[in-house]
Structure 1
Amino acid sequence: MSIVCRRRHYSPRTEEAYRHWTKRFVLFHGKAHPATIGAREVEAFLNHLAVARTVSASTQTQALNALVFLYRDVLRQPLGEMKDIKRVQHRDRLPVVLTQAETRLVLAMMTGTTQLMANLMYGSGLRVNECVTLRVKDIDLTTKTISVRNSKGSKDRTTVLPAQLCTPIEQHLTRVLQLHADDRSRGGGLAPMPDALYRKYPTAAGSFAWQFVFPSAAVRPWGDSDRLVRWHASPSTIQRAFKAAVRKAQVNKHVSVHTLRHSFATHLLAAGTDIRTIQLLLGHRNLQTTMIYTHVEAAVRTVKSPFDLL
C-alpha cells in the first residue's frame, strides 16, 4: 500500500490513515487476507464502525475511501456495489471561532517561538502542519507573502504575511541561521528533502533556504541513510502551548490551535474581504467550503436582540 500511495504522491498523513484502516479491517476479520474477502466483509466492517463504534460521518467516509483504494488500486480487485452500508448522518457544524478580543488575549498568553507560530497561523490562515513545515525559502519578507507548499490535497498556494510579523520573523530566522551554522560546523546542517529532490539537487539539503523555519530541537536519521538531519518542530509543540494559553486566558470555548485558521477567515469576512479572496488564501478547492464562514460571521455579528428594544 505504501508503494502505491507514494507512486500517486499521496501525503504521508493520507498514507498513514489508509494503512491504519487497512490494519483495522484485517484485524476485524480475524487477520484474513483482504484478497480472500470482499464487499460483504467491507460492509460488515463499516457497519460495525457506524453502529458499534458510533464514529462520525467523516471517519466512516475515510475508512471507506481507504478500503476502496486498497481493493481498486493495490489488490486490483475493485469492490462491487454496496447497498447495505449503514451511513452515518452527516451533520453540518459551524466551526468555533474566537472573537478578536479573545484572539488577542490568548496570543498574549503565549511566549517565544510558539507565540510566533500561533501569530503566524492566525495572521496567515495556516493549518498547523503547514506552519511547522514552512521552509526559509517560502517566506518573502519583501512582498510580505508566504508560499504554502504541498498542503492538503497536494496543492500550493500563496497567502499573506502580516506586516507586524516581519520583524519578529526576521529576528527568528537570524537565530535559525546561527543554529544552521553550528550544525554545519559539526558536519551536519542538512534538512530532509521532499520526494527525490535530494538526488536532483544534491547540495540543496545543506543550504539555509531549505531549512525549516521552526526546526526541531534534535537531529534524527533521514530515511535509510545514516545522515542526520534537523526536522521541523512537532505539531504537538504548538498544540500544547495553545491549549495552555486558552486555559490561562480563561476562554470558555472548545477550541484547538486550528481555531486560529477559522478565526482568520471569519475576521477577514467581517472586515469586508470578499469570499473568493478568502477561498484563495485558505486554499479551498470548493467555494462552498469557504461559504461556511459567512454563516459563522452572521452568527457572531453584533445584532441587537428585540428583547433589548423592549
Structure 2
Amino acid sequence: MSAEPIRIRPGEEGRLIVQIPYSPERVAKIKTVVGRRWHRQEKHWTVPRTDQTIGQVLALFPGEPVEIDLGLRPVKRAHCNRPTGAQVADPSVSENHPLLERVRSAARARHLSRHTEQTCSQWARRFMSFHGWRPVAEMGEPEIGQFLSSLATESHMSASTQNQALNALLFLYHEVLEKRIGLIQGVVRAKRPKRLPVVLTKEEVRRLLVCLSGTPWLMAMFLYGAGLRLMECCRLRVKDLDLSRNQIVVRGGKGDKDRYTPLPTAVKALLIQHLKAVRQQHEEDLRQGLGRVVLPHALERKYPNASREWGWQWVFPASSHYIDRDTGERRRHHLHESVMQKAIKEARLKAGIAKPASCHTLRHSFATHLLEDGYDIRTVQELLGHTDVRTTMIYTHVLNRGGRGVRSPADGLVDGLSPLQL
C-alpha cells in the first residue's frame, strides 16, 4: 500500500474533493459513501459536504495518513440541529476510542458473540462520527432520532438495518453508559418490505453441486443436507459430528441455542476422508508446538489443554494460522465464510442459475424440500432452530404460491387452441 496521504479539500458548492491513492480496496470503500461521484478527467472523487460524510470518509480509512484542508470546517445541515463547532476526530482516534473499548468489553462480559460485539462497536462509531465526535454522554433521544432518520432518508437503508442500529445504540446507552433512553420521537422509519426467500428446485441444487468440488462441495452438502447457517457450518467442531447416528449437534446457534440436525449419509464417506486429512494437519501442528484453537467462554481457563484436543478442532479449518489478540499465540481459525460465499457465486454462474442464490439459499431450499416431501412444519421448525413457528411458516407461502398451489386461468383458456392459433 502506498504511503501517499488521502487528501480532503473543499470542492464546488456543497461538495468535497477526496483524492485517494488508487487501490481496489480503497475504491471499494469510497463507493460505500452515498452521493459520491468519480470525475474521470480530474481523477478524484467528490462527496456531499456534510459532517456525516467527513466523519464517514475518515472512518473508512483508519490508520492511513489523511490531509484535511485547514479551511475545511464541518457544515451544519438544515435538518440536523448539530453544533456548528463540532470537530471531526483524527481517524486513528476513531478505532481506538475509549468508549468503543468499553462497548467491546461490555459485549464480552455478557458473552455476546464476536459478530455482535463488532456490530455494536461499528454503530457506536458511526453514531459518534455522525455528530462530529461530540461526547456521547451529552447526547440523548434527539440525536439518536436524527441519526436513525438519516439512515432511512439519506443512506436508504432497510428497516432491519435501522432496527439493528437502534438496538446497538440502546446497548451503548443502557449497558455501557447506564443512561436510560426514553421515547425517541420524530424518527423516519424505513418501510419493512415483505419478501419471500429465494428457493432452488432440486434440479437446480443438483446443478449447483456439480459445479463445486473439494471442501466447498462438502460444506454445501452440509448447508443443504442439514439446513445449517453458513457460520454454523464454518464453526463445526469434530466433537459435534456423530457418524454412528448420522446426526450433527449445532452448538451455540443463532440465539445461543443448541439443536440436532441430520448428517447427510451421501457425504459420510468423503467426510471421513476429509477428517483424516484434517487430523494429519492437526498432528503436524502439534509437532510444531501449535495446534490450539479458541474455546468458547471460560473453558480455556478451566481446561487449559482442551484447545489442543482432537475433538475441539474445526471440521473446516483455515489453511494458515493467526495471532490471537488476547494470548498472542499462533492458532488456527476455521475457514473464513467468504471462501464459501465466493465458491457458491462462481458455481451459480457456471451452472447458469438465474436466481440470486447464496449460501443461505441452500438452507431455504432444505426447509422447502422437506415440506414438499411431507414432513410436518414442527419438525422443520426444530431442525432449523426457529423459536417461533411463524418464522418457519414463510416456507409454506413458497409452497402454496405459483404453479404448485393455483392453476392459472390461462391454462384452461388455451387448452383447446392449436399451436397455429397460439
TM over 0.5: yes
The residue number in structure 1 matching 2:187 is 85
| Pair 1:266 & 2:395 matched | no
| Pair 1:135 & 2:237 matched | yes
Q: Could you tell me whether the CA contact under 8 Å between 1:125 and 1:281 is conserved in 2?
A: yes
| Pair 1:308 & 2:411 matched | yes
Give 2:169's match in structure 1, choosing from 50, 62, 67: 67
Gapped runs of 5+ residues in structure 1? none
In the superposition, relative to structure 1, how do residues 72 and 216 fare at CA in structure 2: closer, same or farther (>3 Å)? Answer: same
Determine the C-alpha separation between the residues in 2 that align with 1:155 and 1:60: 25
Q: Could you tell me whether the CA contact under 8 Å between 1:149 and 1:156 is conserved in 2?
A: yes
| Pair 1:21 & 2:120 matched | no
1:120-140: CA deviations, max 9, x gaps?
Answer: 110000111011110000010
Give 1:182's match in structure 2, choosing from 279, 284, 289: 284
Determine the C-alpha separation between the residues in 2 that align with 1:226 and 1:82: 43
| Pair 1:167 & 2:304 matched | no
In the superposition, relative to structure 1, how do residues 187 and 126 fare at CA in structure 2: closer, same or farther (>3 Å)? Answer: same
Equivalent residue letter for 1:125? G
Tell me how many residue pairs correspond in the alignment: 310
Equivalent residue letter for 1:89? K
Q: Could you tell me whether the CA contact under 8 Å between 2:208 and 2:348 is conserved in 1?
A: yes
Q: Which moved more, 1:199-208 or 1:299-308?
A: 299-308
1:220-299 to structure 2, matched below 5 A, reads 220-299=322-401
1:2-52: CA deviations, max 9, x gaps?
Answer: 111112111111111111111000000000121011110000000011111
Q: Could you tell me whether the CA contact under 8 Å between 1:219 and 1:231 is conserved in 2?
A: yes
The residue number in structure 2 matching 1:214 is 316
| Pair 1:32 & 2:32 matched | no
Q: Could you tell me whether the CA contact under 8 Å between 2:197 and 2:364 is conserved in 1?
A: yes
1:237-296: CA deviations, max 9, x gaps?
Answer: 110000000000000011211100000001111111111111111111111111101001
Q: Could you tell me whether the CA contact under 8 Å between 1:10 and 1:154 is conserved in 2?
A: no
Q: Which moved more, 1:189-198 or 1:300-309?
A: 300-309
1:172-220: CA deviations, max 9, x gaps?
Answer: 1011111111111111111111112111111111111000000000011
Q: Could you tell me whether the CA contact under 8 Å between 2:142 and 2:185 is conserved in 1?
A: no
Calculate the aligned-residue CA RMSD, in Å.
1.1
Three-state SS of the structure 2 residue aligned to 1:258 is helix
Q: Could you tell me whether the CA contact under 8 Å between 2:231 and 2:337 is conserved in 1?
A: yes
Q: Which moved more, 1:294-303 or 1:223-232?
A: 294-303
Structure with the greater alpha carbon radius of gyration: 2
How many Å apart are 1:83 and its aligned residue? 2.5
Determine the C-alpha separation between the residues in 2 that align with 1:27 and 1:220: 31
Determine the C-alpha separation between the residues in 2 that align with 1:160 and 1:131: 13
How many Å apart are 1:301 and its aligned residue? 5.6
The residue number in structure 1 matching 2:20 is none
Determine the C-alpha separation between the residues in 2 that align with 1:251 and 1:122: 16
Q: Could you tell me whether the CA contact under 8 Å between 1:121 and 1:128 is conserved in 2?
A: yes
Give 1:154's match in structure 2, choosing from 217, 233, 256: 256
Gapped runs of 5+ residues in structure 2? 1-102, 414-422
Normalised by the length of structure 1, the TM-score is: 0.97
The residue number in structure 2 matching 1:201 is 303
The residue number in structure 1 matching 2:100 is none
